[in-house]
Amino acid sequence: MIVCNSNNFAVTRAQKTGGASLEIYFLESGLIDSDKDVYTLEGGFSTWKEFKEYSDANNNLKYSELPTNLHGYKSLKEAQKTYTQVVEEGLAPADMPWVGTIRHPVDWLASLYYYANVRRKLIAAENVKAHGKPSSVDQWHDIHISEPDPSWDLIFIEIPDNQAVIDSCKSQMSYYPDHAQLFNFENINEHAKSFIEAKGGTVKSNLNIRESDHDNTYYFNNLSADRQQKTLDMFAKDFAAWEKAYAVYN
């Protein structure tokens, strides 16, 4: 999250939309004045430069290699405040120009699926190392999370009121006001460069913070057509915002 009073804009980060890269674009741009502006990052780093140095030295924060203080909803909640939270906390006026990133809803869900599976495999491996076998919870996760259709049913039919599901599957547009200028995930670099340079800032290079080898092809090919359509229906506002942003460069 960034509130840039010195150049009159704010940035919020929806989960799994390239928000860490977007935030660093702005923090490196020369547009942020540390005396006038406010920003938050995950991990307890005192400055964004410390965060960037750590990222550069640690494989761009590849998820499977992250320490626990750099992943999960609790560690990210300060960095990923919603528009409503920022305004209610008095950090920015409601009508301030706003910027954020947006992702195709099924692609976004595929990313959540991927990271849930990376996490469950890491935990299962730790249990095998410590106890010689996976736990009963690991086995339950293997049944309910390892494939696209069962994982979709779990979060949207079986346990939609679970707090972890609510936190993880919050709609992307809940992070932004209706007047936000949004950058689609596929073209974050182009959008960021255009916005920053129009404000008088600079972009040094393309960024890929929180690097991932995630390929959504398997998820798209194995999530049933009706579940994909229901996803677009449930997140219709997100889809419309993504289409609008995508059309700028495609």
Residue-level pLDDT at 85 = 96
Regions of the chain where pLDDT drops below 70: 44, 46, 59-75, 208-213
* pTM summary value: 0.88
Alpha-carbon Rg for the chain in angstroms: 19
| Separation between Cα atoms, residue 117 and residue 218, nearest integer Å | 13
The 10s digit of each residue's pLDDT in 9-66 is: 999 999 989 888 899 899 999 999 988 999 988 776 768 788 778 777 776 555 556 5
Residue-level pLDDT at 83 = 97
CB count in 10 Å sphere of residue 209: 18
Residue-level pLDDT at 60 = 57
| Separation between Cα atoms, residue 233 and residue 34, nearest integer Å | 41
| Separation between Cα atoms, residue 38 and residue 12, nearest integer Å | 12
